[in-house]
A and B are shown apart, each in its own frame.
Chain A
Amino acid sequence: KAGVTQTPRYLIKTRGQQVTLSCSPISGHRSVSWYQQTPGQGLQFLFEYFSETQRNKGNFPGRFSGRQFSNSRSEMNVSTLELGDSALYLCASSPPGVRNEKLFFGSGTQLSVL
């Protein structure tokens, strides 16, 4: 079974631009979560989608948004990029079940904002 796939692997943008990151979950997984990873801050939860609906949201500004498609693939968008948005963005999918416990992470998209 293929793992979680994130594209692109690396991105370089300038302040004020916007960016879209893509995530394809493991086949059969319907829940997709996004995390921001920065040195010293660990993994910060952005949002979670299940069956095309946002189920949970972290404490990030409205510039960060996401969506999920009917095939469970997800995208996240960051508008009006700031230098502080430079980070590794990780996507994780979870298998169906009563408890959303097992997170399977992709390798991430490394975003650099200049």
Chain B
Amino acid sequence: GENVEQHPSTLSVQEGDSAVIKCTYSDSASNYFPWYKQELGKGPQLIIDIRSNVGEKKDQRIAVTLNKTAKHFSLHITETQPEDSAVYFCAATLGNQFYFGTGTSLTVIP
């Protein structure tokens, strides 16, 4: 199966700064890479995704980059706000199955 590693496990940034979360995957056949945000007491919610035929995708303050050769992808959040504080999960899909990273707890300090 697939193995997804995610770093860092915790991240604290000042409000207005940028945050970057990185993930690597092991199986080059994985072709879809979503990112989920989980707020306290809630289930994960899809915030952005990228397919293997695209190198970068942006949606307002969040962006995802994918390097297929190195098998890694990253989430970038610019101009962070306190409401960005949450746990973020990356995932890779192989066939119909999702493989999740272990999560990054992001704290944005006002």
Binding site for B on A (CB under 8 A): 4, 33, 35, 40-45, 48, 55-56, 58, 90, 92, 99-108
Please measure, in the bound complex, the distance between the C-alpha atom of A43 and the C-alpha atom of B90, giving whole angstroms: 10
Specify which chain B residues have a CB less than 8 angstroms from the CB of A101 in the assembled complex. Answer: 32, 34, 49, 93
Specify which chain A residues have a CB less than 8 angstroms from the CB of B53 in the assembled complex. Answer: none
Which B residues, 12 to 61, have Cβ-Cβ distances below 8 Å to chain A? 32, 34, 36, 41-46, 49
Candidates B89, B95, B102; contact of A40 at CB < 8 Å: B102
Binding site for A on B (CB under 8 A): 6, 32, 34, 36, 41-46, 49, 89, 93, 95-103
The secondary-structure label for the interface of chain B is strand
* Contact present for A102 and B32 (CB under 8 Å): no
* Contact present for A107 and B43 (CB under 8 Å): yes
Specify which chain B residues have a CB less than 8 angstroms from the CB of A105 in the assembled complex. Answer: 36, 43-45
* Contact present for B103 and A56 (CB under 8 Å): no
* Contact present for B42 and A107 (CB under 8 Å): yes
* Contact present for B101 and A42 (CB under 8 Å): yes
Please measure, in the bound complex, the distance between the C-alpha atom of A56 and the C-alpha atom of B93, giving whole angstroms: 13
* Contact present for B97 and A45 (CB under 8 Å): yes
Specify which chain A residues have a CB less than 8 angstroms from the CB of B6 in the assembled complex. Answer: 42
Please measure, in the bound complex, the distance between the C-alpha atom of A41 and the C-alpha atom of B5, giving whole angstroms: 11
Specify which chain A residues have a CB less than 8 angstroms from the CB of B46 in the assembled complex. Answer: 102-104
The residue among A42, A45, A99, A107 with the most chain B CB atoms within 10 A of its own CB is A42
